[in-house]
């Protein structure tokens, strides 16, 4: 909305899903905030707030809750700084993990020797000396996190780790101090191993997350730091961010294009594979579009900048992928509700297990082991990571294939689609129609073309551009008045003559007799051509037949959708006969033709009323209402910005073949999320009772807890093997 702003924050200090849930509540209470999504996997928060809301208040609220936040501006420096901080944090964790392992190893050796019946035993005071730095120096992060969490009124993973390891450490320390140390009442190795294993899990998890955000880093590397710009008759190097619209940028062979623009001189080929997914080089000549981040071939190009900085294609793609990775899928809200009550429930289970074993069964040793194991094993990290990890990898894979997914809602909903509605012009066809015939009632084809071109001078409509291209070099007449008739045509006064140009519907509204040229019109429509009528008053002056070639991949895309169990429908404002010819050539059986732009959304709503899950595919401004009305809107990246804003998915290079791929990656990602959630829930369903029954030791519990989070992220990373069929 125009009166709202979107603010992205990089969050540090989160340890589990409960942290993310708590932060959402904290941010949601800041004045002016309408919604807040916090993603544990990407460590980002996306806040939608009123334009007057103070960003400083958001940062202050996060810090008061015990975390830290940095505002992300979307600029190179901000993103690079965030990446550098994450890399430093991982290196620090690795160093602490190595130290913890070195101190814990002798304690583990004693435990193994005891289990094997060997006489090796550490002096109790040495075990205390080894365990203390692990507990309070290396494990200080857990105490800090637990304190901040409890201070904020909610428990998290750190609380469970601190309760379990502290109980094991302090009971063991008391036994050492009082001289009661023995093989059965020292648990130093349990506390130290749990902390070490949790740190190991965090390191592996952080590295897996970094792999999951690889798509963003790959896109960031595509942006050149400098551009060669023509200034005052010479070429100078300036920062790419300083290029202004209208500047002419010189791109040498092998260099990356620094800005979006139009080629004004030179011929070459460009590799756009990492941006659009197009595997073959794209020919470039004067008038051809140039995309920032693409690699120039063997020719020298001069490119006039049109979109620079944050508005360039590559930056818009980065923002869209980041937005999708920071958003929250509907299924995640269930997980958040569970995570909010998880820690108190686990503490209650641990206390109950201790009471039953100690009081009812008279076994305080097993009671202690069971309680500590319950606290250690019940980490909600796997639940918290199950959905966002899948979304991060899925959206990244989609971006590498030239598919931009706006948010997690679109990603999750797309797998349910069972009918796809295609706009015709620019979606299934090239969108670059050309005049193939001019038929004048009086035989004066040149005069009819001049009138039609004059009436449409300056229009951006594809059919108008085709007429103007055909009339190139013709001396056009001045236009006294002009009125667009949405979805039907236009009315204009040219050379004192009141003309109407457009569809048969418009002619019927004006009472124009078309019988004299009906046969010619039927012949062209039978060949799949669009017919524009030109009339003066009630008299038909003639017709202009325009052909728009079908995209080569359209038929294959429709066939692929059919094999996926998805029906294809064509929705167009064109004459029914012309639309049906194109549909038959592509393989579409159902055609809804002669539909006004304002009625397209109603047609989509009617399909939804049949109980269908509808995806609408379009590229024009007039498609925006239908895109918004559909369950999933899919925009062609070669179309209008309005269409892309209304859509949940954008196909960057405007290729229909990407649509089955987009729905395929949605199905694959949703399947991974379901797998992750199943195993995360199953892990807790099995592990908690086993721990409470005394079947697990704290060491085994710590290892299982750490590996559960790693397994969830690793399973999500398998999505990177996905390939479009």
Active site residues: 423
Nearest C-alpha neighbor of 67 from the set 124, 22, 33, 6: 22
Extract the tokens encoding 637: 């990246």
Task: Give the dihedral sign, CA 642/303/308/659.
Answer: positive
User: What are residue 260's phi and psi, to 5 degrees?
Assistant: -75, 140
Nearest C-alpha neighbor of 158 from the set 175, 146, 148: 146
CA distance linking residue 239 with residue 248, whole number of Å: 14
Query: What end-to-end distance do the CA atoms of the chain give, in Å?
Result: 38
From residue 673, alpha-carbon distances to 157, 219, 331, 385, 711 in Å are: 22, 25, 9, 10, 13
Other Cβ atoms within 10 Å of 639 Cβ, number: 23
Residues in the chain: 725
Q: How large is the angle between the packed helices 76-116 and 124-133, nearest 10 degrees? A: 170
DSSP state for residue 551 in the 8-state scheme: P
Task: Give the dihedral sign, CA 518/519/524/526.
Answer: positive
CA distance linking residue 625 with residue 181, whole number of Å: 75
E strand or H helix at 545, and its extent? Answer: strand 539-547
CA distance linking residue 68 with residue 348, whole number of Å: 30
Other Cβ atoms within 10 Å of 556 Cβ, number: 15
Beta strands 4-12; 68-72: pairing state: antiparallel
From residue 101, alpha-carbon distances to 59, 106, 144 in Å are: 36, 9, 21
Question: Can you count the helices (H) and strands (E) in the chain?
Answer: 25, 26
E strand or H helix at 573, and its extent? Answer: none
From residue 584, alpha-carbon distances to 217, 274, 419, 558 in Å are: 43, 34, 17, 11
Which residues are CB-neighbours of 723 under 8 A, at least 6 positions away? Answer: none
Which residues are CB-neighbours of 7 under 8 A, at least 6 positions away? Answer: 46, 47, 48, 49, 55, 58, 71
Q: Is 138 helix (H, G, I), strand (E, B) or coil?
A: helix
Other Cβ atoms within 10 Å of 475 Cβ, number: 7
CB 170 within 8 A of CB 677: no
Nearest C-alpha neighbor of 293 from the set 257, 331, 326: 257
CB 252 within 8 A of CB 322: no
Nearest C-alpha neighbor of 685 from the set 386, 378, 385: 378
CA distance linking residue 156 with residue 142, whole number of Å: 10
Cα 119 → chain centroid: 58
CB 666 within 8 A of CB 658: no
User: What are residue 251's phi and psi, to 5 degrees?
Assistant: -115, 115
The DSSP result for 412-461, as a single string, is: HHHTT--EEEEESTTTTB-S--EEEEEEETTS-HHHHHHHHHHHTTT---
């Amino acid at each position: 909305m125009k009166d709202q702003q979107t603010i992205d924050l990089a969050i540090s200090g989160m340890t589990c899903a409960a942290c993310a849930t708590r932060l959402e509540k904290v941010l949601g209470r800041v004045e002016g905030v309408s919604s807040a999504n916090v993603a544990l996997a990407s460590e980002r928060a996306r806040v939608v707030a009123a334009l007057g809301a103070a960003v400083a208040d958001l940062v202050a609220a996060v810090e008061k809750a015990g975390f830290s936040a940095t505002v992300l501006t979307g600029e190179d420096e901000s993103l690079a700084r965030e990446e550098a901080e994450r890399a430093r944090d991982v290196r620090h964790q690795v160093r602490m993990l190595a130290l913890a392992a070195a101190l814990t190893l002798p304690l583990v050796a004693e435990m193994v020797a005891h289990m094997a019946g060997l006489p090796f035993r550490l002096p109790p005071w040495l075990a205390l000396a080894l365990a203390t730095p692990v507990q309070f120096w290396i494990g200080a992060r857990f105490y800090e996190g637990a304190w901040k969490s409890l201070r904020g009124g909610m428990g998290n993973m750190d609380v469970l780790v601190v309760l379990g390891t502290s109980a094991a450490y302090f009971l063991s320390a008391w036994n050492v101090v009082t001289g009661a140390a023995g093989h059965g009442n020292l648990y130093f190795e349990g506390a130290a191993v749990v902390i070490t294993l949790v740190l190991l899990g965090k390191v592996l998890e952080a590295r897996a997350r970094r792999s999951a955000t690889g798509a963003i880093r790959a896109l960031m590397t595509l942006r050149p730091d400098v551009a060669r710009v023509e200034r005052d008759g010479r070429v100078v190097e300036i920062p790419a961010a300083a290029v202004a619209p209208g500047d002419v940028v010189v791109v040498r062979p092998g260099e990356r294009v620094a800005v979006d623009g139009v080629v004004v001189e030179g011929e070459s080929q460009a590799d756009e594979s990492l941006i659009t997914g197009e595997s073959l080089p794209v020919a470039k000549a004067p008038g051809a579009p140039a995309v920032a981040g693409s690699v120039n071939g063997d020719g020298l190009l001069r490119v006039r900048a049109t979109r620079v900085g944050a508005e360039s294609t590559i930056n818009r793609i980065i923002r869209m992928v980041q937005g999708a990775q920071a958003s929250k899928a509907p299924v995640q809200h269930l997980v958040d509700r569970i995570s909010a009550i998880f820690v108190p429930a686990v503490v209650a289970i641990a206390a109950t297990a201790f009471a039953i074993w100690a009081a009812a069964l008279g076994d305080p040793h097993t009671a202690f082991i069971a309680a500590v194991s319950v606290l250690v094993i019940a980490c909600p990290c796997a639940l918290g990571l199950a959905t966002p990890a899948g979304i991060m990898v899925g959206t990244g894979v989609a971006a590498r294939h030239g598919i931009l997914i706006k948010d997690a809602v679109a990603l999750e909903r797309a797998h349910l689609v069972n009918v796809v509605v295609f706009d015709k012009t620019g979606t299934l066809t090239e969108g670059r129609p050309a005049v193939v015939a001019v038929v004048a009632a009086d035989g004066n084809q040149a005069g009819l073309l001049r009138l039609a071109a004059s009436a449409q001078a300056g229009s951006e409509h594809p059919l108008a551009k085709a007429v103007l291209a055909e009339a190139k070099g013709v001396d056009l007449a001045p236009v006294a008045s002009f009125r667009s008739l949405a979805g039907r045509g236009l009315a204009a006064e040219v050379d004192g003559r009141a003309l109407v140009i457009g569809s048969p519907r418009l002619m019927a509204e004006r009472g124009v007799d078309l019988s004299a040229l009906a046969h010619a019109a039927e012949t062209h429509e039978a060949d799949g051509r669009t017919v524009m009528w030109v009339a003066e008053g009630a008299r038909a002056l003639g017709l202009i037949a325009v052909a728009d070639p079908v995209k080569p991949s359209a038929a294959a895309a429709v066939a692929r959708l059919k094999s996926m169990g998805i029906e294809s429908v064509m929705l167009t404002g064109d004459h029914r006969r012309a639309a049906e010819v194109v549909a038959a050539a592509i393989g579409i059986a159902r055609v809804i033709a002669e539909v006004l732009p304002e009625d397209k959304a109603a047609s989509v709503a009617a399909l939804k009323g049949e109980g269908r899950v509808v995806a609408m595919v379009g590229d024009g401004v007039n498609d925006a209402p239908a895109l918004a009305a559909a369950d999933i809107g899919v925009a062609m990246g070669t179309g209008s910005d309005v269409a892309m804003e209304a859509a949940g998915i954008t196909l960057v290079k405007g290729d229909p073949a990407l649509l089955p791929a987009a729905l395929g990656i949605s199905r694959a990602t949703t399947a991974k999320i379901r797998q992750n959630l199943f195993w995360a829930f199953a892990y807790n369903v099995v592990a908690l009772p086993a721990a409470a029954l005394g079947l697990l030791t704290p060491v085994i519990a710590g290892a299982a807890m750490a590996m559960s989070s790693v397994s969830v992220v690793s399973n999500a990373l398998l999505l990177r093997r996905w390939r479009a069929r």
